[in-house]
Structure 1
Amino acid sequence: MKKISMIVFAAASLLVGVVQAGPLVEVTFKNVGTLPANLKIVTSNESSTYQIANPKPDQKVDPGATTYAKVQRVVSPDVNAAMVRYTIGSKTCAFGTTFQLRALPGGITQPQWTKTATPSGGATCTANITRTNADYSWAVEFTMR
């Protein structure tokens, strides 16, 4: 019985060491258009972002309104990402933000945050990183017209 307990404890210890979350990202989407914006999940990255978001972004965002989500992936403490896509009629904005702690020569690490806003159908999209923190968490704001 003692041997089984030690094996279970060792296995649990290994699992705890493997499950480490990357830094949290707070995502704000603002609809600055005149019609409602609708969330549209197209890619696997958008799907996984929606599945792990807490709270989840709203499916429909009225003109002048915002929606908010927090995303934290359990892949590595050195990476995180969030991707969302909204449509207004035939206009689409695909948004993304990532974090990576890059290893440089000499054992130095460098944090790197990115943001993207890809328009189609005549949409106007913006992405801005509004805050970065010492623990590498960050906030991003996406807008669509």
Structure 2
Amino acid sequence: MTLDAWFVIGAVVGLASTIVCVVAAVMKKKPNDITLLALIAVELFVVAYAIGSVVRLAGGQQLAGEAWEFWGYMFTAAMLPVAGFYWAMMERTYWSNYVMSAVGITVVVMLARMAQIWYGTGAIQASAPLQLGIGL
């Protein structure tokens, strides 16, 4: 798996969101602005990644794997924060923070799989400089 800037930034955002939500849950806090904003940050990253992926594909880059699989992961990763947000709005208990914390780490795992689909599976290797790969 090639570690590009998209994966690194996504991992930071997803893990930070998970940590914020776990801390709030352990402190038995109900979902609040901070935990919901952490979840929104994950969603905004996934949307930016989708746009960046379209730009990369339009610029001539190719997926090593199947396009339907990549976009299926992308769609699912985009829907997870929405589902977590909905859950938090419907169940206003500290348990919702645990559900929201699962969203961040799950999106990180999905980003790793999307990187494998984009670059091809194999050993972990860092791309030369960590670039967004937009090709501007």
- TM-score interval w.r.t. the shorter chain? under 0.3
Structure scoring higher RCO (CA < 8 A, sep ≥ 6) equals: 2
Output the TM-score relative to the length of structure 1. Answer: 0.26
Structure with the bigger percentage of strand: 1
Structure with the bigger percentage of helix: 2
